[in-house]
Every structure is written in structure tokens, then in C-alpha cells.
Amino acid sequence: MHDDFIILFRTNSILAKNIKTKRKALVTGGAGYIGSHTCLELLEGGYDVVAVDNLSNSSKESLNRVQDITGKTLTFIQCDLLDKVQLGQIFAEHQPDTVIHFAGLKAVGESVVHPLDYYKNNVLGTATLLAVMVDNGIKNIVFSSSCTVYGAPKTLPISEDSPLGAVNPYGRTKLIIEQMLKDLQVSDPSWSISILRYFNPVGAHQSGQIGEDPRGTPTNLMPYMTQVAVGERKELSVFGGDYPTRDGTCVRDYIHVVDVAKGHLKALEKLSENPGVIIHNLGTGQGYSVLEIIHTFEASTGQKVPYRIVKRRLGDAAAVYADPRLAELELEWKPSLGLLRMCEDSWRWQLKNPKGYS
């Protein structure tokens, strides 16, 4: 009887410890491309997840599929970050202990045409989110930044201390938010903030159930290319064939979206050490040209991609790729999925979902 009591006591103690240490993450923009993949990794990592999204450029179906894939449930709430009252109610009810912030407009070209929309949604939306976090005593956040904060780099690869100089409104909103976060931490050193500057996320979950589903005409290379390959579009426009690169086309650092998602979990682990403000590049350190992407996609899928080289696009740098060594050193994060997998997974998603989530 005595031994049974000891076993029962130990079992209850372990259960109580697990309940106490289980963490809850609130993910803004959780139904989006990177957000949905990160929600999946969070669930697999044992987190409780509250996904918040206004669904202006995403679909709730992505989160339904995340739950199907993992066999685990999350909480979804449709909410715009500019709605401070509803956002405050969400924090008060669900009491997350950390926030991963993806929500925001993200098309470079669109930001040039509609800059005020970007400053309102991205900057004011973040300021509202942070104010609600302050009101609720939540001081841990991972922010989804971008390599666009570096502008046109003078030297390669790009490290975290490379000069900053965004050249479009989208990139400037990311820079402003980064500065806002730094200023907040200076005003209150108990904040722990991770800023992740990632390069060009592509690919999809290996199940083919969640992936990139752009509204309207894709602005990124991979989804446009897969839509051409599946017959949704006639041909791919390659912007510029006369850059000072190995084949004349732009070179970029493409990284699998699953590796990016896993990087957010590593950042959350680091925040438990209360490191202040930490900034890391998420990239592979390898640059691929547009033509190399096309040829690798054709070789890996057996699909031809008709393309035509057109004039350069204003503002495009010849080459942009990361130095990811700091993330490997400090976050113990390293990308594991190469270009072949990026192409294969993108194509599997496109084949299974020729019309996206619709």
C-alpha cells in the first residue's frame, strides 16, 4: 500500500510538472504560408497553439489540414491586429506566454503602389499587438522579419551586422518594426525578442496538404513556376538576363519553408534564456540563379517550364544570399532540406491542389 502511494504521488508529480511546463504560443498570421507550417511544427513540438488571422490573404483550410496532419488541435480566431479590443479579449482568455508574429502585408511590388496600406497594416498592427502584450504582461516575441531590410547588398554573403537599407515600403515596414522592438526592450529589459530575417522561403510540407497559396498572380518565383508547370499559366517571365551573375539571371538564397518553421521553434527555446534582443538570418548560405531553379525543377519533376527573359524589374539586386552561421552557433539551427526537396515538395503541393485551398 505504501509503495502504491509513492508510485501514485510520483506519477501525479510528473503530470503536474508537464502541465505546468507546457507552453502556449499565439501565432499572428497563423493561417498564412509560413504561419501554418510553423503552427504544425509547434503542435508537433508539444505547444498549445492559438492562431490569429484576418484571412485577408490566407485560408482557414490551411489550419484544418495542420490539425489533420498532426492529429492535434489548435485554437483559431479570426481577428485583425488593428482591432485592439478583440485582441485584448483573446489575450485575456487564452493567456499565451509567447507570441510569434507573422501577420502583415508582404508583396514588394504592391507596397510601392499602396505604401499607406503597408504602413497601416504592418507598423500600426504591430504597435497594437505590442500594446496588448504590455497590457497582459507577455514579454516574449519572435518577429518575422526579412532579408529586404538589407536592401541591395554591397558585399556577400550577408551577415546580421551588414548595413541596413530597405529600398521599398515593405522592407521599410520591417525595419521600422525591428527598431520598435529594440526600443521597447531598451525601455523594459525584461522583454525577450527574437528577430528572424529570412531569405526566400519555398517548398511545402511533404504531405502536400499545406503549401503556398497566393491570391491572384503570384509575385514569387516558385509558385508562379509551379502554376506554369501545371498549366494554370502560359509561361514564366524571367526578369533580366544580363546581370553580372554566372548565367545572367538574379541569384537568391532559397530555403525550405519547413526549415524556416523549425527555426522559429529554436528561437523560442533561445528566448527562455532571456537573451534581450537577438537577430538571426535564416538562409542556406547558397545562392541559386533563376535559371538554375528552373532547370532543377524540370529535372526533379519531369515537367517542362516554358519561360521568356524580359527586361529587368526595378529594384532587383543581382545577388542576395545569407551568412547563416550565427543561427547555427546560437540557435543550434541548420537547414536540412536542399533545393531538390524544395522543388519536389512544391510540385507535390501544386499537383494535389491545382486551385490552392479553394
pLDDT digits (tens, 9 = 90+) for 59-104: 999 999 999 999 999 999 999 999 999 999 999 999 999 999 999 9
pTM equals 0.93
CA angle 44, 77, 50 (to 5 degrees): 30
Burial letters 156-171, b for 16+ CB under 10 A, else e: bbbebebeeebbbbbb
Q: Which residues are catalytic?
A: 170
Q: Is the pLDDT of residue 39 over 80?
A: yes
Q: Which of 279, 249, 335, 329 lies closest to 158 in space, CA to CA?
A: 279
pLDDT digits (tens, 9 = 90+) for 226-240: 999 999 999 999 999
Q: Is the pLDDT of residue 15 over 50?
A: no
Taking residues 48-68, what's their average pLDDT? 97
Structure confidence at residue 216 (pLDDT): 82
3-state helix, strand, coil in the chain (%, to 5): 45, 15, 40
Q: Is the Cβ–Cβ distance between 342 and 202 less than 8 Å?
A: yes
Which pLDDT band holds residue 3 (cuts at 50, 70, 90)? Answer: low
Strands (E), the chain: 24-28, 48-53, 75-78, 98-101, 140-146, 192-198, 200-202, 236-239, 251-252, 254-256, 277-282, 288-289, 307-310, 319-320
pLDDT digits (tens, 9 = 90+) for 306-353: 999 999 987 788 999 999 999 999 999 999 999 999 999 999 999 999
CATH numbers and ranges of domains, the chain = 24-352 (3.40.50.720)
Crossing angle between the packed helical segments 221-229 and 339-352, to the nearest 10 degrees: 50
